[in-house]
């Protein structure tokens, strides 16, 4: 086996083993964080170095190409930045922190394997590895007056996740029955030969369900607001960002199989896009908990991403990948502020952010950039991403979808700017003290703001890379 093709995964495997050993000892929190941070830096370095690596492993079940490596680079950069959020994991009890970091790394490993899997059984195992680790992470929160929210969130996440996985596995059995193989490169010709029969289309749609769950696409969205609200701030930051980019990557590979029922698949993706945008944005308008608001807005952004998928064209998929990349960094910027501002890891309401610009100008600026970017205001990546998605959908003839998406973008501006108004125009509470972010948080904030700005102002390189990556995947 060519070791360099599997180098990022080997780094994560080594990190998982070390983290597991730490669970057997009385490890100090700072030692744990330093270990995981080193793993994250090594993962990022190897992912960047192996960006243009090509090859197949494990009898063709695992493909290393520009597409998978680009996704790994985005995940590694986002994960490493996330580890800089806090000098202490406030929302996790000290006793549970070794297990917390272990499951965090195993979930990341599962997502990494998922991005390169081109065989259905391998893909399903990677999906379950990432999912079950997250199911265990959600209830790992510091005990408070009531443990109802974390436990309820964990149960909902598990039940909806298992249901989506079951539907996906059933779809895989249909695809295998039609194609006689579990390898994607052998399934594609068989799916095209099958013509416009119902069976390939039904199998493909069931196959989509697992990724719709990860993206929180309507109607697989019910878990998202409760999990965002019930999980700790650090855990929510991970759930809100890393699985999204991988779900887009896997959907992109699946969309290459859409030839038998291209019109029906495009119609379904268009309908789900509209439903997700409308439901997510309208429900987010009335939220007061910031994480819950971001959960509903995540449903809306899943709808925007599906606009690119609905084109079923390489350039539309590349635009969706570009937008998902920007979304990872936009969400991490928002959660950076929540993690630093929350003194004890509790959830913050919009009122808790009143006067943040006077308590910490830097954190206020980072949150403002994140909200403006998520709202789609130039010159940030959210604006450029939405513009390119709308342009692509227009080119593909989805006029009604473009009009509805434009209206939803305007709706989203309202609740995002509510947060900015609280930060910059409302008076802080009398007992509110100044907030001084530590060095790691300042570094993470600078990196995330720089990425959100750079991807918005100069998107050409990322778009070109995403286009080449999708061509390599298809």
Over residues 333-351, the pLDDT tens digits come to: 999 999 888 877 788 888 8
What pLDDT is stored for residue 261 in this prediction? 46
Q: E strand or H helix at 132, and its extent?
A: helix 120-137
Which pLDDT band, with edges at 50, 70 and 90, does 122 fall under? very high
Could you tell me what percent of the chain has a pLDDT over 70? 93
What pLDDT is stored for residue 431 in this prediction? 63
Per-residue pLDDT reduced to its tens digit, 353-410? 888 888 888 999 999 999 999 998 988 998 999 999 999 889 888 889 999 999 999 9
Per-residue pLDDT reduced to its tens digit, 92-105? 777 788 888 899 99
Mean pLDDT across the stretch 110-116? 92
Using CA atoms, how far apart are residues 124 and 165, in angstroms rounded to an integer? 8
What pLDDT is stored for residue 143 in this prediction? 59
Using CA atoms, how far apart are residues 343 and 435, in angstroms rounded to an integer? 10
Whether residue 305 contacts residue 215, with contact meaning beta carbons closer than 8 Å, is answered with yes
pLDDT at residue 205 is higher than 70: yes
What pLDDT is stored for residue 144 in this prediction? 57
Whether residue 45 contacts residue 11, with contact meaning beta carbons closer than 8 Å, is answered with no
Segment among 11-25, 90-104, 211-225, 443-457 with least mean pLDDT: 90-104
Structure tokens at 271: 């309908």
What pLDDT is stored for residue 260 in this prediction? 41
Using CA atoms, how far apart are residues 181 and 131, in angstroms rounded to an integer? 25
Whether residue 230 contacts residue 149, with contact meaning beta carbons closer than 8 Å, is answered with yes
Which 3 state secondary structure label does DSSP give 64?
strand
Which pLDDT band, with edges at 50, 70 and 90, does 300 fall under? very high
pLDDT at residue 277 is higher than 50: yes
pLDDT at residue 458 is higher than 50: yes
Q: What is the DSSP letter of 85?
A: S
Which 3 state secondary structure label does DSSP give 57?
strand
What is the chain's mean pLDDT, rounded?
86
Higher confidence at residue 201 or residue 262?
Answer: 201
What pLDDT is stored for residue 190 in this prediction? 76
Mean pLDDT across the stretch 211-217? 89
What pLDDT is stored for residue 325 in this prediction? 93
What pLDDT is stored for residue 459 in this prediction? 87
Higher confidence at residue 29 or residue 248?
Answer: 248
Mean pLDDT across the stretch 404-420? 92
Length of the chain: 474
Which pLDDT band, with edges at 50, 70 and 90, does 71 fall under? very high
What pLDDT is stored for residue 404 in this prediction? 93
Using CA atoms, how far apart are residues 344 and 143, in angstroms rounded to an integer? 11
Per-residue pLDDT reduced to its tens digit, 306-337? 998 888 888 888 999 999 999 999 999 999 99
What pLDDT is stored for residue 22 in this prediction? 85
Question: Which residue bears the tokens 């994560």?
Answer: 12
pLDDT at residue 5 is higher than 70: yes
pLDDT at residue 145 is higher than 50: no
User: In Å, what is the CA distance from 331 to each residue of 152, 164, 195, 245, 307?
Assistant: 24, 24, 41, 12, 20
Strand stretches in 322-445, DSSP E: none
pLDDT at residue 43 is higher than 90: yes
Using CA atoms, how far apart are residues 359 and 299, in angstroms rounded to an integer? 31
Quote the distance between the C-alpha of residue 51 and its chain's center: 20
Per-residue pLDDT reduced to its tens digit, 154-197? 888 888 889 988 999 998 988 888 888 888 888 877 776 665 66
pLDDT at residue 146 is higher than 90: no
Q: What count of other Cβ atoms lies within 10 Å of the Cβ of residue 198?
A: 11
């Amino acid at each position: 086996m060519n070791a360099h093709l599997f180098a990022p995964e080997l780094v994560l495997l080594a990190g998982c083993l070390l983290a597991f050993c730490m669970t057997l000892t009385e490890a100090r929190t700072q030692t744990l964080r330093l270990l995981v941070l080193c793993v994250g830096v090594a993962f990022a370095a190897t992912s960047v170095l192996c960006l243009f690596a090509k090859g197949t492993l494990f009898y063709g079940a695992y493909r290393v190409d520009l597409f998978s490596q680009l996704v790994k680079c985005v995940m590694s950069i986002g994960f490493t930045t996330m580890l800089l959020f806090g000098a202490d994991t406030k929302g996790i009890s000290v006793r549970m922190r070794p297990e917390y970091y272990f499951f965090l790394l195993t979930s990341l490993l599962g997502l990494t394997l998922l991005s390169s899997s081109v065989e259905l059984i391998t893909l399903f195992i990677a999906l379950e590895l990432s999912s079950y680790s997250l199911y265990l992470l959600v209830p790992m929160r510091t005990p408070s007056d009531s443990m109802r929210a974390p436990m309820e969130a964990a149960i909902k996440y598990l039940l909806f996740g298992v249901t989506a996985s079951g539907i996906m596995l059933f779809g895989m059995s249909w695809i295998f029955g039609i194609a006689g193989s579990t390898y994607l490169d052998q399934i594609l010709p068989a799916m095209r030969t099958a013509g416009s029969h119902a069976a390939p289309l039904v199998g493909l749609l069931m196959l989509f369900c697992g990724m719709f769950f990860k993206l929180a696409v309507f109607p697989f969205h019910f878990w998202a607001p409760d999990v965002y609200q019930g999980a700790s701030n650090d855990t929510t930051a991970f759930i809100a960002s890393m699985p999204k980019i991988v779900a887009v990557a896997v959907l992109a590979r699946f969309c290459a199989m859409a030839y038998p029922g291209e019109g029906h698949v495009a119609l379904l993706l268009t309908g789900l896009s509209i439903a997700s945008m409308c439901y997510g944005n309208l429900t987010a308008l009335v939220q007061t908990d910031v994480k819950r608001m971001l959960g509903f807005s995540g449903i809306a952004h899943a709808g925007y991403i599906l606009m690119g998928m609905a084109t079923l064209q390489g350039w539309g998929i590349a635009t969706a990948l570009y937008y998902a990349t920007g979304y990872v960094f936009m969400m991490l910027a928002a959660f950076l502020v929540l993690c630093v501002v929350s003194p004890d890891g509790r959830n913050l309401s919009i009122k808790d952010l009143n006067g943040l610009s006077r308590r910490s100008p830097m954190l206020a600026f980072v949150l403002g950039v994140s909200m403006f970017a998520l709202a789609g205001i130039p010159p940030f990546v959210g604006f450029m991403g939405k513009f390119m998605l709308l342009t692509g959908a227009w080119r593909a003839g989805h006029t009604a979808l473009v009009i509805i998406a434009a209206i939803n973008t305007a709706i989203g501006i309202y609740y995002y700017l509510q947060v900015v108004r609280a930060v910059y125009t409302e008076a802080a509470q009398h007992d509110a003290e100044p907030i001084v972010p530590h060095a790691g948080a300042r570094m993470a904030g600078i990196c995330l703001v720089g990425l959100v700005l750079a991807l918005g102002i100069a998107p050409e390189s990322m778009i070109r890379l995403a286009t080449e990556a999708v061509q390599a995947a298809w």
